[in-house]
Amino acid sequence: MKKEEVQEIFLKFLREEEDVSAGVAAIKTLLTVIENYKVATVRELDLNLQLAVDAMRHCDQPVAAISSGCELFMRFITLAKLDVKSFEECEQIMLQRGRIFLETLLEARGKVAKQALPFIVDGCKIVTHSRSRVVLQAMIEAAKANKRFQVYVTISSPDNSGIRMHKELEAAGIDATLILDASLGYILEHADLVMLGAEGVTESGGIINKIGTYGLAMAAMELKKPVYVLTESFKFSRIYPLNQRDLPNEFKYLSSVLKSGDLSKQHPLVDYTPPAYITLLFTDLGLLTPSAVSDELIKLYL
C-alpha cells in the first residue's frame, strides 16, 4: 500500500461528499483500507492503518480532527484483537466495529444541533466565526422551529470561509450579516451570545479552532457574553497545550508549509482558546462544562 493511494482515497471523499468533514473522511478512508488492502496478520493491518493515518496528515487538510478521529477509531476497532483467535474473524469484527463507529459519527452532528436548540431564542443576536457545519445545522434547525434570530458571521481571513457560511445561512432563510474580522469588538456589544465550532477539543476543555477564535473569546468574556462551542466528541484530543506555542506545528500549518522549513513569517491557520473563555460545550455526549472534557476522554479511551 502506497501513501499516494491513501491520499487519493481521502481527497476523493472530500471532493465527492461536500458536507463531509476531514475527520469523517479520514475514518471512511481507514475503513476502505481495511476492506481493500488484504493482509495476513494483525500486525500488518496495524502498520497499514498507521501508514494511512500518516499519509492523511500530509494532505494539506486540518490535522486536529484527523488526528483525534483516527486515534479514537483505532482504539475502538482494535479491542477486537482480544476477543478472537483467527485473523479472519478479527478482521471482520474490526470492519463491523468500524462501521458502527462511523454511523455514530454521522449521527453526532444532528445530536449536537438538538442540544443547542433551546439556547437559540426568538430575537437573539448571535456572533459566529468562520464556517462550522455543526453550527450551520443548529441554526437551520432553529429556523425550522420558527425561531427568529440574527447572525453575524465573520469573513474569517485568510481563506474567507465566512463568506460561504453567510451564503448558506441566507439560503436557509436566516437573517445573516457578513462582518469584518476587525469589527468583532463593535458587533459583540450588541450581540447576545457567541456560537462556535471547533477543529479539536483539548484535555483541558479548551478548543483548537480557526485563527481569530481566541481573540473573539477574549472580547466576549470582557463584554460578559456567553461563548458556546458546538462539537462532536470524536474531536476530543489527548493534548494539553498551555499556550499558543504549545500547539503542535502540524495543527497550525498545512503540510506544504511545514516542508518549507522556515515558519517565522508564516501565518498559523488555527489558535488555541483556553477553557476559561468557554461557557459550555454542546456535544453528542451531552452538555459539558470545559472541566468535564477530561472525564469524557477517560471514558472514551477506557
Pull the grid cell for residue 30: 481507514
Largest CA distance in the chain: 64
- Structure confidence at residue 14 (pLDDT): 87
Rounded to an integer, what distance in angstroms lies between the CA atom of residue 47 and that of residue 44?
A: 5
The CA–CA distances, whole Å, from 136 to 168, 210, 262 equal: 8, 16, 36
- Structure confidence at residue 84 (pLDDT): 60
Residue 192 has pLDDT above 70, yes or no: yes
- Structure confidence at residue 79 (pLDDT): 64
**Which has more pLDDT, 186 or 96?**
186
Q: Which residues of 181-190 are buried (b: 16+ CB within 10 A; e: fewer)?
A: beebeebbee
DSSP characters over 189-236: TT-SEEEE--SEE-TTS-EEEETTHHHHHHHHHHTT--EEEE--GGGB
Residue 96 has pLDDT above 90, yes or no: no
To the nearest whole number, what is the mean pLDDT of the chain?
89
Pull the grid cell for residue 201: 477539543
Are 215 and 187 in contact, with CB atoms under 8 Å apart? no
Q: In sequence order, which residues have a C-beta less than 8 Å from that of residue 285 and are 6 or more positions away?
A: 233, 296
- Structure confidence at residue 37 (pLDDT): 81
Q: What mean pLDDT is predicted for residues 215-219? A: 96
Q: Please, which pLDDT band fits residue 45 given cuts at 50, 70 and 90?
A: confident
3-state secondary structure of 38: coil
- Structure confidence at residue 106 (pLDDT): 86
Q: What mean pLDDT is predicted for residues 107-125? A: 93
Using omega within 30 degrees of 0 as the cis cutoff, is the peptide bond preceding 158 cis? yes
pLDDT digits (tens, 9 = 90+) for 230-256: 999 889 988 899 999 999 888 888 887
- Structure confidence at residue 182 (pLDDT): 92
Q: What mean pLDDT is predicted for residues 79-99? A: 73
- Structure confidence at residue 297 (pLDDT): 80
- Structure confidence at residue 119 (pLDDT): 95
Angle at 187 between CA 181 and CA 188, to 5 degrees: 100
